[in-house]
Amino acid sequence: MIKRFFLADDDQDDIDIFRDALFETDESIEFHFAKNGRDLVSAIKSGVRPQIIFLDINMSGMTGWECLDTLQKDEVCKTIPVVMYSTSSVLRDGRRAVETGALCFLEKPSSFERLKDFLSRIYRSSEKELINTLRDIEECRTHRLIVA
């Protein structure tokens, strides 16, 4: 099971919704968040070990793109699966995410239930099966999910 999640997002409402969706799945999930990519990288270097990272694209301080680039250059960090997570529905953002090292790109789901369903599927997956889990999600078109 994937039980250690990290979200980098500068919108407090989005952080709260994400956290609530996770905790409705399982209250014992370990959830960390940062308001920008710089704080996420700092937390990982300080010892936080997420099993999956969700990165918003548009953040102040360090954008999701800059953070992904930084993570990909670090031997420890580049092994952590990253989901680029954004309100953007631009197909080129999805392609760019996958081409630059993200596991996938996900447009932020339009409903709490869709987000909860997506996160619960990830939670129930093993680290080894994560990519297959993402590929098997029936609602990929609804979620605008692009997988590597």
pLDDT tens string 89-127:
677 777 888 888 888 888 888 899 989 988 999 999 988
Question: What is residue 142's predicted lDDT score, i.e. its pLDDT?
Answer: 42
Length of the chain: 148
Residues 124 and 12: their CA atoms lie apart, in Å, by 26
Count of C-beta atoms within a 10 Å radius of residue 59: 23
Q: What pTM does this model have?
A: 0.90
Question: What is residue 141's predicted lDDT score, i.e. its pLDDT?
Answer: 40
Residues 140 and 125: their CA atoms lie apart, in Å, by 16
Ranges of residues in the chain with a pLDDT under 50 are 139-143
Residues 46 and 27: their CA atoms lie apart, in Å, by 24
CATH number of 4-147: 3.40.50.2300
User: Which residues does 24 contact at the CB level (< 8 Å), separation at least 6?
Assistant: 116
Helices then strands, each counted (H, E), the chain: 7, 6
Instruction: Tell the residue number behind the tokens 């997506």, with chain if given.
Output: 118
Residues 7 and 50: their CA atoms lie apart, in Å, by 10
